[in-house]
Amino acid sequence: MEQRFNASPLALAVLCLLRVGPLHPYGIQRLMKEWGKDKVVNVGNRATLYRTINRLYEAGLVEVRQTERDHLYPERTVYELTEQGRRVGLEWLAEMVSVPRNEFPEFPAALSFAMVLGPDVTLARLEQRAERLLESLASLDADLDAGSATLPRVALIEDEYRRAIAAAELSWVRSVVDDLRSGALSWAEDILDPDAVRAVVSGPTAPGDER
């Protein structure tokens, strides 16, 4: 029976790669690495990929084409897209390209509790982050230079985006570092005052928040 499947970057990658033709999981993983898609999609380990493919199969988005047997390798199941999988993959792709989502990345979450570190430690850690962002930019520039010699721009567009994001983040981090050094960034240490916290958690409860 077909099950509803919530879109994910890894599931999208599987559906898009299967448009090339039938593949077994190892082939999908190898193609993702060869094309550099593992830099933007969290493939995880082989078990994660197998679980994703199995869920796509249960949802009726992929089907088994054949099982390959070779004395040099373990038995491999080859998957291909169903018509529904072909349609759903395009729908997911179009939506992910067009609709911004809050994906709750790690860095903003950590910044929201930077007051726990204190200004001096936060300054030192942001300086380290700026250095690593510079290294990332240099690596991305090298990849873009190398790829542009043989690949069309569309094949490198995710690296362009990653570079733009890294450059923007570096600019912002440097501005915060400057403000911490000059004292322009105020530090509200009293936000963690136990009495203030107790006042918040013991205050009136909004409708629907009761547990």
Is 207 inside any structural domain? Answer: no
- Same-domain pairing of 76 and 50: yes
- Same-domain pairing of 89 and 24: yes
**Which helix (H) or strand (E) covers residue 154, if one does?**
none
Burial category of 92 from C-beta neighbours within 10 Å (exposed 0-12, middle 13-18, buried 19 and up): buried
Is 210 inside any structural domain? Answer: no
CATH code of the domain containing 54? 1.10.10.10
Q: What's the rounded Cα separation, in Å, for the pair 155 and 72?
A: 33
> What are the backbone dihedrals phi and psi of residue 84, each rounded to the nearest 5 degrees, phi first?
-65, -40
What is the mean pLDDT of the segment spanning 146-169?
Answer: 95
Last residue of a domain, one of 98, 133, 154: 98
- Same-domain pairing of 118 and 56: no
Last residue of a domain, one of 98, 124, 140: 98
Is 113 inside any structural domain? Answer: yes
- Same-domain pairing of 80 and 112: no
User: Does the pLDDT at position 175 exceed 90?
Assistant: yes
CA angle 116–118–120, rounded 5-degree value? 150
What is the mean pLDDT of the segment spanning 186-200?
Answer: 69
- Same-domain pairing of 52 and 113: no
Question: What is the reported pLDDT for 24?
Answer: 93
- Same-domain pairing of 75 and 118: no
Question: What is the reported pLDDT for 206?
Answer: 56
User: Does the pLDDT at position 1 exceed 60?
Assistant: no
101 contact partners, CB below 8 Å, separation of at least 6? none
- Same-domain pairing of 84 and 123: no
Dihedral angle of Cα 194, 189, 129, 39, to the nearest 10 degrees: 40
User: Does the pLDDT at position 106 exceed 60?
Assistant: yes
- Same-domain pairing of 58 and 138: no
Q: What domain range includes position 166?
A: 106-194
Residues above pLDDT 70, as percent of the chain: 87
- Same-domain pairing of 124 and 85: no
Residues above pLDDT 90, as percent of the chain: 74
What is the number of structural domains in the chain? 2
What is the mean pLDDT of the segment spanning 111-131?
Answer: 94
Question: What is the reported pLDDT for 76?
Answer: 87
What is the mean pLDDT of the segment spanning 205-211?
Answer: 56
Is 1 inside any structural domain? Answer: no
Mean pLDDT of the chain: 89
Least confident window among 2-11, 62-71, 113-122:
2-11
What is the mean pLDDT of the segment spanning 154-182?
Answer: 97
Is 4 inside any structural domain? Answer: no
Last residue of a domain, one of 50, 68, 98: 98
User: Does the pLDDT at position 170 exceed 90?
Assistant: yes
What is the mean pLDDT of the segment spanning 116-139?
Answer: 96
Is 204 inside any structural domain? Answer: no
Per residue in 45-93, pLDDT tens?
A: 889 999 999 999 999 999 999 987 766 667 889 999 999 999 999 999 9
- Same-domain pairing of 48 and 20: yes
Instruction: List % helix, strand, coil for the chain (3-state, nearest 5).
Output: 65, 10, 30
The interaxial angle of helices 9-17 and 83-98, nearest 10 deg, is 130
Least confident window among 47-51, 113-117, 206-210:
206-210
**Which position has the higher pLDDT, 181 or 71?**
181
Q: H helices within 18-98, ranges in order? A: 25-34, 46-58, 83-98
